[in-house]
Structure 1
């Protein structure tokens, strides 16, 4: 079974995959995720949901079975499909939540795509594990993100440095109440000193993180670390739970 959006920007992924079905005998069903456009050439996800009732009993799986295949960005070569087991994912997210003292009372702001390790692991999986709430952005814009941070009283956010930079620029023109925000976890690239200092001046706790699709996160700073720690390092190795 293969799930694909019916529309992505100006492209219709389902229509691109259909001609390949004859070359993939193991592919039994193509499902169109019909949020933005109707599924005209494949079974629609909305129809599957309408025609079926939720399971009353949990499906039994083994911890070492394949849970997800996430693709890397290809920073050091060609993108790779990383095969993660249930145990891989649970160990990663339990360590992440423990290091940052995340609980059911937290509200996650997640601007990253859910097909990316950041969005899938920290925006969906972690909140499920601890019973927290996650606020998802379809497309990141500073205006939409800042409005949701304030309205939903988000307590934590994770994203690359450009997200922080855009939000700081908007806050110059459009002040907002971010008193609920405990921290902004920043990874993917170096954090400029200017950005770190501006966050400190605005009362935004900026934390650095390092990870990869294969194991995210590898290292995170502690919540009580001084500014010098996250400006020059990515903290400490995460202890797997």
Structure 2
């Protein structure tokens, strides 16, 4: 595969000169860990389906990565080849990425909830040669689905099942034979390690607006972000990272897989989110940090409150993906005792803005943080002119962690000659430089020429005692162009009608023209694997009367 990561070379000189790109790869950090603390715990992977717990020291993790790497080479995988991996969080996921990095292959992580429609596009577009899946996860037969796709995937040579039967399984082909001890294994492993600007990850956007795009990342783009992120949060080798967010998304991949190896600390992974299990793992391993979307924080705070068993080692919980309701920050701060950090980022960049640990708690629910080192942000109008503080406009950013481009679609890279990337988000920046995302540019509601502050109204809806989830989307209107519809889920035993919703928002001082004029109650809201509501699907439902 030839990767057209055209956004890397133009900014290399400046990025290296400013110390953002340090030309270190995941191999360097894993090898450093083996050299300095070989017997330190590196990974504890909890598999809930089988009640299996697998532990690796740094020495053991590197040894298994070498074993699987040689096994992949024996299957014909080489530098630049794409290995797609549709696994839940677990040691096999981690080892597959490390093995790919040993031989210069590119890993394409895929969410375990994807099915034929998404996979047929991604596997074909990414030209995956190997596809690694679980034999069965949460009752679903992945090999059968994968085999059903092969006829339309000319590049796909092999489907490998973790826990599968026979000689074609992950265990038989890769994880059990001592390939690393064979004559010539060292030569294989030293032959094609990737450089810091080689593409090492191909990851598809989560699809909040339609067809996904293949995002290309290198060691320099990812670690320039991870280093700044860890420094902002004060994380180090003595921390323990709990990761329940999927590693097939950047949250889990960058901050649950890559960051612990960068820090030289231990990672604890959970394949199926379970708040009681998560709380127990925090206590057992002394976890100090976790990152996930808002529902995970809600669940964990509720579990700790109801069980009466605290999580005293948990120092920081970072929430990203959607605004955090103020009451949740207050409750979680009190119940968990952890600092709640708000953040915003993209698949294309990783985390872009974070609140600071020393910030007042109110920042976590009134902003999405301020830029990390190596990141610049600005809000512009339709002509590209910068807007003053407090004015909503299009959000552009320029970042050391900006991706290498969209695979086979450089015309969509949305990055100008000066390195500014159009995020597609609407936002405002306050006088202190703190960002607040106000919605996607495609999600803006213009009612009679007036822009509705969608995110602010949604945040208020989360304060309503009957509402579980909320999203506001536009529906067409002949006179005003658009009107706003609130689509919500309700908490058990609760009811809500539009007049009650209107009275609630009026009670919070919301201007009449900003109040939704329609209410739809649903059992659930369509969302991406990371919990972002897919508003384009809600608009389709309203349009089609579904």
User: Under a length normalisation based on structure 1, what TM-score does the superposition of the two structures give?
Assistant: 0.90
Number of the residue aligned with 2:147: 18
Deviations 1:36-87 (A, max 9, x none): xx245x7211112222433545542122222112222212333333222222
Distance in 2, Cα, partners of 1:154 & 1:84: 28
Deviations 1:88-107 (A, max 9, x none): 22222122112112111110
From the superposition, tell whether residues 213 and 39 of structure 1 become closer, same or farther in structure 2 (CA, over 3 Å).
farther
Q: What is the deviation of 1:20?
A: 3.5
From the superposition, tell whether residues 31 and 233 of structure 1 become closer, same or farther in structure 2 (CA, over 3 Å).
same
Number of the residue aligned with 2:160: 31
Distance in 2, Cα, partners of 1:20 & 1:235: 42
Verify the 8 A CA contact 1:110 1:158 in the aligned structure 2: yes
SS at match of 2:147: helix
Is 2:347 aligned against 1:216?
A: no
SS at match of 1:99: helix
Distance in 2, Cα, partners of 1:25 & 1:75: 28
Is 2:179 aligned against 1:53?
A: yes
Distance in 2, Cα, partners of 1:20 & 1:169: 41
Structural mapping, 1:37-186, within 5 Å: 38-39=164-165, 43-47=168-172, 48-54=174-180, 56=186, 57-58=189-190, 59-186=192-319
Deviations 1:143-201 (A, max 9, x none): 11111111111000101111111122222221223221111001111111111111232
Once the two structures are overlaid, the 10-residue window that deviates more, 77-86 or 145-154, is 77-86
Distance in 2, Cα, partners of 1:23 & 1:164: 41
SS at match of 2:137: coil
From the superposition, tell whether residues 69 and 199 of structure 1 become closer, same or farther in structure 2 (CA, over 3 Å).
same
Q: What is the deviation of 1:126?
A: 0.5
Number of the residue aligned with 1:228: 362
Verify the 8 A CA contact 1:150 1:176 in the aligned structure 2: no
Deviations 1:98-139 (A, max 9, x none): 211211111001111111111111110101111111111111
Distance in 2, Cα, partners of 1:186 & 1:236: 14
Distance in 1, Cα, partners of 2:149 & 2:210: 26
Number of the residue aligned with 2:51: none
Verify the 8 A CA contact 1:92 1:216 in the aligned structure 2: yes
Once the two structures are overlaid, the 10-residue window that deviates more, 127-136 or 169-178, is 169-178
From the superposition, tell whether residues 20 and 167 of structure 1 become closer, same or farther in structure 2 (CA, over 3 Å).
closer
Q: What is the deviation of 1:9?
A: 2.3
Number of residue pairs the alignment of both structures matches? 237
Structural mapping, 1:180-219, within 5 Å: 180-202=313-335, 203-219=337-353
Gaps of 5+ in 2: 1-129, 375-399, 401-546
From the superposition, tell whether residues 183 and 24 of structure 1 become closer, same or farther in structure 2 (CA, over 3 Å).
same
Distance in 2, Cα, partners of 1:101 & 1:160: 21
Once the two structures are overlaid, the 10-residue window that deviates more, 220-229 or 118-127, is 220-229
Distance in 1, Cα, partners of 2:150 & 2:306: 51
Q: What is the deviation of 1:22?
A: 4.2
Distance in 2, Cα, partners of 1:91 & 1:159: 21
Distance in 2, Cα, partners of 1:26 & 1:159: 35
Verify the 8 A CA contact 2:323 2:368 in the aligned structure 1: no
Distance in 2, Cα, partners of 1:7 & 1:158: 27
User: Under a length normalisation based on structure 2, what TM-score does the superposition of the two structures give?
Assistant: 0.41
Verify the 8 A CA contact 1:199 1:206 in the aligned structure 2: yes
Distance in 2, Cα, partners of 1:163 & 1:116: 15
Distance in 2, Cα, partners of 1:43 & 1:179: 45
